[in-house]
A and B are shown apart, each in its own frame.
Chain A
């Protein structure tokens, strides 16, 4: 099958490689060891595979790996720097916003971009919900997740 040569940055590391055109970005990232990127529904409903492409959150299961050419990808692994959690990761721990944990990496990336985009704004819980509508938590731990976003927004 056809492949395409792509160059991309994942967190801080640069890559150049040939990728099969049939592959999703989610599959590529998991094969490279970024297993925080979860394979949930595979159809863009659950958000467990959310990563940032040039700081924009997308469902990596509905994104061809070739489209990542010349972009910078951020996954939850990269938000932790020198062994120190990011403010968002810290807030999730602080608020106990993790139950089974499967949805957490995707949510961390959605929250990270949501707070970068709304920096300095006073956010209502309703706005937080709307901003996180693309991520499902099947344990239904939404209250603590919203608490974590509120806490992170004040850090």
Chain B
């Protein structure tokens, strides 16, 4: 038995928000692949749960009339990866989610949980950052929209406040139309592993000039990050070994990797430099440009 002290099965988004706002220590449970692991380990921070699995409207994945791609917070990794709208318009999301755990974990876990638990290594975070996701949140004061930019505030921490419930992600056309993207997860094993470093890039080309680059990393700083200095360094330039090197030199200002038992700071820096080039080149290649 899991050491659950208090359990509320939410009947609606409003009901979930009310239950979360009424209990300082309440935590949301969605797919359970993080929360139940922590409970299994006896972590009492997760003893008071608001279960949102009854909110079937949060499972939806669709494109609205304005071309916004909406991904429900409760949609599982597998449901997102296999959805035609995702594969067709934002394939880097599918590519990223395919690197998570194994089939069983992807059949239960959700992108809502992957982003909201604030994990520094979240495999969906690079895709969320380079496609500049909006997060539609229901809170005690009603519905509001937050950007993924600045959403993560520290390891395991986000801007979410007491009573907040993520309902869905929104990818606006301006953030995916004309872009091609790529993701690479460096890990010690081919599956069932946590990223040592994850890197995502999205590019928009104007003939052979990189008009826009969006570059993001996981595990390269205390939160998943966008690399604005590196992006500026290569914008409006052609893709060459020299411009890639200029980008990588600027990258040092953006990242702040650390030593841990998984990998040393030096090794992580090496991975960051290598992957920045590899993934940017692949993103350009995916647009049909020279690789």
Contacts and interface: CB of A to CB of B under 8 A. Distances in A.
A76 to B, nearest CB: 15
A42 B37 CA distance: 8
A66 interface: yes
Contact of B9 (A50, A66, A130, A135): A66
A131 B37 contact: no
Interface in B184-207: 190-192
Interface residues of A, number: 33
Interface string A99-131: 000000000001000100000000000000011
Instruction: Say whether chain A's binding surface is mostly helix, strand, loop, or mixed.
Output: mixed
B32 to A, nearest CB: 5
B83 interface: no
A131 B192 CA distance: 12
A131 B107 CA distance: 12
A47 B104 contact: yes
A78 interface: no
A48 B67 CA distance: 42
Interface in A40-61: 42-45, 47, 50, 56-59, 61
Given A44-B105, A133-B190, A134-B102, A62 B37 contact: yes
Interface residues of B, number: 26
Contacts of B191: 130, 133-134
Contact of B103 (A45, A64, A67, A110): A110
B30 to A, nearest CB: 11
Contacts of B7: 2, 21-22
B53 interface: yes
Interface in B1-29: 1-4, 7, 9, 29
B1 A43 contact: no
Listed residue (A4, A45, A58, A66) with the most chain B CB atoms within 10 angstroms of its CB: A58
Contact of A62 (B32, B78, B190): B32
Contact of A134 (B1, B37, B101, B190): B101
A34 interface: no
Interface string A9-51: 0000000000011111001000000000000001111010010
A142 interface: no
Contacts of B104: 44, 47, 50, 57-59, 110, 134
A67 B101 CA distance: 21
A105 to B, nearest CB: 14
Contact of B40 (A43, A114, A131): A43
Contacts of A133: 102-103, 190-192
Interface string B44-64: 000000010100000000000
B108 A62 contact: yes
Listed residue (A21, A110, A130) with the most chain B CB atoms within 10 angstroms of its CB: A21
Contact of A20 (B1, B40, B78): B1
Interface of B: 1-4, 7, 9, 29, 32-33, 36-37, 40-41, 51, 53, 78, 101-105, 107-108, 190-192
Q: Which 10 residue pairs of A and B lie closest in terms of their CB atoms, listed nearest first?
A: A134-B102, A133-B191, A133-B102, A134-B104, A22-B1, A21-B7, A59-B104, A22-B4, A62-B36, A43-B37
Given A58-B108, A133-B190, 8 more contacts: A43-B41, A58-B107, A59-B104, A64-B29, A64-B32, A134-B103, A134-B105, A134-B192
Interface of A: 1-2, 4, 20-24, 27, 42-45, 47, 50, 56-59, 61-64, 66-67, 110, 114, 130-135
